[in-house]
Amino acid sequence: MAQAAHWSLPAARTRQAYYRLFRTGRQVGRLRRLRLLASAPRLAAETELPPPDFSPEHETVVVFRNLVSGNERTYFCEIVGHSEIVRKSLIDMTRPKYRPALPTHPHIAIHVRGGDFSQPSSLEEIKSGRHNLQIPADWYVKMLKGLRKRLGDTLPAIVYSDFADEELVPLLSLLHVKRSPYREAISDMLAMSQANAIISSGSGFSRWASYLGQVPRLCFPGQRTVRTLGPVVDGTDMEPECEVAGEIPEGFYSHVLSRALVAGGALRV
Protein backbone atom coordinates (compact mmCIF):
# COMPACT_ATOMS: atom_id res chain seq x y z
CA MET A 1 0.00 0.00 0.00
CA ALA A 2 1.43 3.35 -1.06
CA GLN A 3 2.55 5.58 1.77
CA ALA A 4 1.37 9.17 1.92
CA ALA A 5 3.90 11.98 1.75
CA HIS A 6 3.76 13.91 5.02
CA TRP A 7 4.65 17.39 6.15
CA SER A 8 7.97 17.09 7.94
CA LEU A 9 7.16 18.92 11.19
CA PRO A 10 4.26 18.73 13.67
CA ALA A 11 1.44 21.11 12.94
CA ALA A 12 1.20 24.41 14.75
CA ARG A 13 -1.96 24.80 16.80
CA THR A 14 -3.91 28.02 17.08
CA ARG A 15 -6.00 29.34 19.93
CA GLN A 16 -8.98 31.47 19.05
CA ALA A 17 -11.19 33.75 21.12
CA TYR A 18 -13.99 34.07 18.59
CA TYR A 19 -16.08 36.55 20.57
CA ARG A 20 -13.49 39.23 19.68
CA LEU A 21 -14.16 38.83 15.98
CA PHE A 22 -17.89 39.53 15.89
CA ARG A 23 -20.37 42.22 16.83
CA THR A 24 -24.08 42.04 17.52
CA GLY A 25 -25.11 44.21 14.58
CA ARG A 26 -28.50 43.09 13.30
CA GLN A 27 -28.16 39.64 14.79
CA VAL A 28 -30.95 38.39 17.01
CA GLY A 29 -30.06 38.21 20.69
CA ARG A 30 -31.17 38.52 24.30
CA LEU A 31 -34.89 39.11 24.95
CA ARG A 32 -35.84 39.20 21.27
CA ARG A 33 -34.18 35.83 20.75
CA LEU A 34 -36.06 34.32 23.66
CA ARG A 35 -39.33 35.73 22.37
CA LEU A 36 -38.81 34.37 18.88
CA LEU A 37 -37.84 30.93 20.15
CA ALA A 38 -40.97 30.86 22.26
CA SER A 39 -43.53 32.24 19.81
CA ALA A 40 -42.36 32.49 16.18
CA PRO A 41 -43.37 29.93 13.51
CA ARG A 42 -40.71 27.26 12.92
CA LEU A 43 -39.40 25.62 9.77
CA ALA A 44 -37.30 22.45 9.77
CA ALA A 45 -34.23 23.24 7.65
CA GLU A 46 -33.87 19.71 6.27
CA THR A 47 -37.43 19.59 4.90
CA GLU A 48 -39.00 23.06 4.94
CA LEU A 49 -36.28 25.58 4.12
CA PRO A 50 -37.83 28.27 1.87
CA PRO A 51 -36.46 29.09 -1.61
CA PRO A 52 -33.57 31.60 -1.93
CA ASP A 53 -35.90 34.48 -2.86
CA PHE A 54 -38.18 33.88 0.15
CA SER A 55 -38.87 37.08 2.11
CA PRO A 56 -41.32 36.39 4.94
CA GLU A 57 -43.53 39.18 6.19
CA HIS A 58 -43.38 37.77 9.69
CA GLU A 59 -40.46 36.60 11.78
CA THR A 60 -39.64 32.92 11.30
CA VAL A 61 -37.26 30.52 13.05
CA VAL A 62 -35.44 28.01 10.84
CA VAL A 63 -34.29 25.02 12.90
CA PHE A 64 -31.07 23.18 12.01
CA ARG A 65 -30.44 19.88 13.76
CA ASN A 66 -27.11 18.07 14.18
CA LEU A 67 -27.19 14.38 13.43
CA VAL A 68 -25.71 11.80 15.76
CA SER A 69 -23.71 10.33 12.85
CA GLY A 70 -23.00 11.39 9.28
CA ASN A 71 -23.55 15.06 10.07
CA GLU A 72 -20.63 16.25 7.91
CA ARG A 73 -22.16 14.64 4.84
CA THR A 74 -25.47 16.47 5.17
CA TYR A 75 -24.92 19.79 6.88
CA PHE A 76 -24.62 21.90 3.71
CA CYS A 77 -27.61 20.32 1.99
CA GLU A 78 -30.13 22.59 3.71
CA ILE A 79 -28.41 25.84 2.74
CA VAL A 80 -27.20 25.21 -0.82
CA GLY A 81 -28.61 28.07 -2.91
CA HIS A 82 -28.71 30.49 0.03
CA SER A 83 -25.04 31.52 0.06
CA GLU A 84 -25.66 35.20 -0.66
CA ILE A 85 -27.75 35.85 2.44
CA VAL A 86 -25.40 33.76 4.61
CA ARG A 87 -22.37 35.62 3.29
CA LYS A 88 -23.91 39.06 3.79
CA SER A 89 -25.00 38.17 7.32
CA LEU A 90 -21.54 36.83 8.21
CA ILE A 91 -19.80 39.93 6.87
CA ASP A 92 -22.26 42.18 8.72
CA MET A 93 -21.54 40.49 12.05
CA THR A 94 -17.76 40.45 11.52
CA ARG A 95 -16.00 43.45 13.02
CA PRO A 96 -14.74 45.73 10.19
CA LYS A 97 -11.06 45.38 11.09
CA TYR A 98 -11.27 41.61 10.50
CA ARG A 99 -12.87 41.89 7.06
CA PRO A 100 -10.30 41.23 4.31
CA ALA A 101 -9.56 43.73 1.59
CA LEU A 102 -11.05 43.09 -1.83
CA PRO A 103 -8.61 41.29 -4.17
CA THR A 104 -6.88 43.38 -6.80
CA HIS A 105 -6.18 40.51 -9.21
CA PRO A 106 -7.24 36.91 -9.89
CA HIS A 107 -5.64 34.33 -7.62
CA ILE A 108 -5.87 30.77 -6.38
CA ALA A 109 -6.49 30.03 -2.69
CA ILE A 110 -4.73 26.99 -1.20
CA HIS A 111 -5.99 25.74 2.13
CA VAL A 112 -3.59 23.47 4.00
CA ARG A 113 -5.11 22.16 7.23
CA GLY A 114 -2.78 20.98 9.97
CA GLY A 115 -3.78 21.64 13.56
CA ASP A 116 -5.77 18.74 14.95
CA PHE A 117 -5.69 16.81 11.65
CA SER A 118 -3.56 13.68 11.91
CA GLN A 119 -1.10 12.21 9.43
CA PRO A 120 -2.56 9.30 7.44
CA SER A 121 -0.86 5.93 7.30
CA SER A 122 -1.35 5.75 3.54
CA LEU A 123 -2.99 7.45 0.58
CA GLU A 124 -5.66 4.77 0.64
CA GLU A 125 -6.72 5.86 4.11
CA ILE A 126 -7.37 9.37 2.78
CA LYS A 127 -9.19 8.07 -0.29
CA SER A 128 -11.44 5.93 1.89
CA GLY A 129 -13.19 9.10 3.05
CA ARG A 130 -11.92 9.15 6.62
CA HIS A 131 -12.15 12.67 8.06
CA ASN A 132 -9.59 14.94 9.75
CA LEU A 133 -6.51 13.76 7.86
CA GLN A 134 -3.66 15.87 6.50
CA ILE A 135 -3.39 15.81 2.70
CA PRO A 136 0.11 15.21 1.25
CA ALA A 137 2.13 18.32 0.46
CA ASP A 138 2.92 17.24 -3.08
CA TRP A 139 -0.78 17.09 -3.99
CA TYR A 140 -1.24 20.82 -3.42
CA VAL A 141 1.85 21.48 -5.54
CA LYS A 142 0.59 19.26 -8.37
CA MET A 143 -2.84 20.89 -8.40
CA LEU A 144 -1.38 24.41 -8.49
CA LYS A 145 1.02 23.51 -11.30
CA GLY A 146 -1.85 21.89 -13.20
CA LEU A 147 -3.98 25.02 -12.95
CA ARG A 148 -1.08 27.26 -13.91
CA LYS A 149 -0.26 25.12 -16.94
CA ARG A 150 -3.61 26.10 -18.41
CA LEU A 151 -4.28 29.48 -16.81
CA GLY A 152 -0.82 31.05 -16.76
CA ASP A 153 2.39 30.26 -14.90
CA THR A 154 2.37 33.65 -13.17
CA LEU A 155 -1.10 33.18 -11.71
CA PRO A 156 -0.72 34.21 -8.03
CA ALA A 157 -1.59 31.80 -5.24
CA ILE A 158 -2.21 32.50 -1.56
CA VAL A 159 -1.71 29.81 1.09
CA TYR A 160 -4.06 29.73 4.06
CA SER A 161 -2.83 27.43 6.78
CA ASP A 162 -2.22 26.89 10.49
CA PHE A 163 1.22 25.42 9.71
CA ALA A 164 4.38 27.45 10.29
CA ASP A 165 6.27 28.81 7.27
CA GLU A 166 8.94 26.13 7.45
CA GLU A 167 6.26 23.48 7.17
CA LEU A 168 4.94 25.05 3.96
CA VAL A 169 8.22 25.16 2.05
CA PRO A 170 6.97 22.90 -0.81
CA LEU A 171 4.41 25.60 -1.63
CA LEU A 172 6.04 28.84 -0.47
CA SER A 173 9.18 28.06 -2.46
CA LEU A 174 7.20 28.27 -5.71
CA LEU A 175 7.15 31.55 -7.63
CA HIS A 176 4.21 33.89 -7.07
CA VAL A 177 3.06 32.00 -3.98
CA LYS A 178 2.69 33.71 -0.62
CA ARG A 179 0.77 33.03 2.53
CA SER A 180 -2.16 34.97 3.84
CA PRO A 181 -1.23 38.12 5.77
CA TYR A 182 -4.22 37.77 8.09
CA ARG A 183 -4.00 36.45 11.64
CA GLU A 184 -7.63 35.58 12.28
CA ALA A 185 -9.59 32.59 10.96
CA ILE A 186 -12.62 34.63 9.91
CA SER A 187 -10.40 36.94 7.82
CA ASP A 188 -8.85 33.95 6.07
CA MET A 189 -12.21 32.33 5.39
CA LEU A 190 -13.68 35.49 3.88
CA ALA A 191 -10.51 36.11 1.86
CA MET A 192 -10.61 32.55 0.48
CA SER A 193 -14.21 33.14 -0.56
CA GLN A 194 -12.93 35.91 -2.86
CA ALA A 195 -10.56 33.60 -4.79
CA ASN A 196 -11.08 32.39 -8.34
CA ALA A 197 -10.55 28.77 -7.31
CA ILE A 198 -9.67 26.87 -4.13
CA ILE A 199 -7.30 23.94 -3.76
CA SER A 200 -9.18 22.45 -0.87
CA SER A 201 -8.23 20.56 2.26
CA GLY A 202 -10.62 18.04 3.73
CA SER A 203 -11.66 20.62 6.32
CA GLY A 204 -14.99 22.34 6.76
CA PHE A 205 -13.00 25.59 6.57
CA SER A 206 -12.41 24.99 2.84
CA ARG A 207 -16.03 24.03 2.31
CA TRP A 208 -17.34 27.16 3.99
CA ALA A 209 -15.04 29.41 1.95
CA SER A 210 -16.17 27.71 -1.24
CA TYR A 211 -19.82 28.02 -0.22
CA LEU A 212 -19.69 31.66 0.83
CA GLY A 213 -18.11 32.82 -2.42
CA GLN A 214 -19.47 30.03 -4.66
CA VAL A 215 -15.84 29.34 -5.54
CA PRO A 216 -14.99 26.19 -7.55
CA ARG A 217 -12.63 23.92 -5.64
CA LEU A 218 -10.36 20.95 -6.27
CA CYS A 219 -10.60 18.13 -3.73
CA PHE A 220 -8.39 15.15 -2.93
CA PRO A 221 -10.13 11.81 -3.60
CA GLY A 222 -12.37 10.88 -0.69
CA GLN A 223 -12.17 14.35 0.88
CA ARG A 224 -14.93 16.34 -0.84
CA THR A 225 -17.33 15.03 1.85
CA VAL A 226 -20.30 17.12 0.74
CA ARG A 227 -21.10 19.46 -2.13
CA THR A 228 -21.32 23.15 -1.27
CA LEU A 229 -22.08 24.49 -4.77
CA GLY A 230 -25.05 22.35 -5.70
CA PRO A 231 -25.39 20.58 -9.06
CA VAL A 232 -22.84 20.67 -11.85
CA VAL A 233 -22.55 23.88 -13.89
CA ASP A 234 -22.92 23.51 -17.68
CA GLY A 235 -22.15 19.83 -17.35
CA THR A 236 -18.93 20.41 -15.38
CA ASP A 237 -18.23 19.34 -11.81
CA MET A 238 -17.17 22.44 -9.91
CA GLU A 239 -15.94 20.37 -6.92
CA PRO A 240 -14.07 17.50 -8.60
CA GLU A 241 -11.98 14.97 -6.70
CA CYS A 242 -8.64 14.79 -8.53
CA GLU A 243 -5.49 12.93 -7.56
CA VAL A 244 -3.48 14.26 -10.52
CA ALA A 245 -3.81 17.42 -12.60
CA GLY A 246 -4.85 15.43 -15.65
CA GLU A 247 -8.15 14.65 -13.91
CA ILE A 248 -9.21 18.30 -13.66
CA PRO A 249 -12.28 18.70 -15.90
CA GLU A 250 -11.84 20.89 -18.97
CA GLY A 251 -14.85 23.00 -18.00
CA PHE A 252 -13.28 23.72 -14.61
CA TYR A 253 -10.58 25.86 -16.24
CA SER A 254 -13.16 27.73 -18.30
CA HIS A 255 -15.23 28.48 -15.22
CA VAL A 256 -12.21 29.77 -13.27
CA LEU A 257 -11.28 31.95 -16.25
CA SER A 258 -14.80 33.37 -16.52
CA ARG A 259 -14.78 34.27 -12.82
CA ALA A 260 -11.53 36.19 -13.35
CA LEU A 261 -12.93 38.11 -16.29
CA VAL A 262 -16.13 39.01 -14.45
CA ALA A 263 -14.04 40.25 -11.53
CA GLY A 264 -12.13 42.53 -13.89
CA GLY A 265 -8.99 40.44 -13.88
CA ALA A 266 -7.17 38.83 -16.77
CA LEU A 267 -5.61 35.39 -16.95
CA ARG A 268 -3.21 34.41 -19.70
CA VAL A 269 -4.50 31.22 -21.37
Query: In DSSP terms, which residues pair with 241 in a beta bridge?
Result: 219
In CATH, the number for domain 102-262 is: 3.40.50
Query: Domain residues of the chain, as ranges?
Result: 18-97, 102-262
Taking CA atoms, 41 is separated from 19, 49, 142, 264, in Å, by 29, 13, 50, 43
Mean pLDDT by 10 residues, the chain (269 residues): 42 59 78 89 79 68 75 74 89 94 92 91 95 95 97 95 94 97 95 96 95 96 91 86 96 88 50
**Both ends of the chain: CA-CA distance in Å?**
38
**Confidence at residue 62, expressed as pLDDT on a 0 to 100 scale:** 83
**Confidence at residue 73, expressed as pLDDT on a 0 to 100 scale:** 66
**Confidence at residue 240, expressed as pLDDT on a 0 to 100 scale:** 96
The answer to whether the beta carbons of residues 159 and 172 sit under 8 Å apart is yes
**Confidence at residue 53, expressed as pLDDT on a 0 to 100 scale:** 66
pTM of the complete model: 0.85
**Confidence at residue 162, expressed as pLDDT on a 0 to 100 scale:** 93
**Confidence at residue 52, expressed as pLDDT on a 0 to 100 scale:** 64
**Confidence at residue 39, expressed as pLDDT on a 0 to 100 scale:** 92
**Confidence at residue 11, expressed as pLDDT on a 0 to 100 scale:** 40
**Pick from 20, 3, 4, 6: nearest CA to 184:** 20
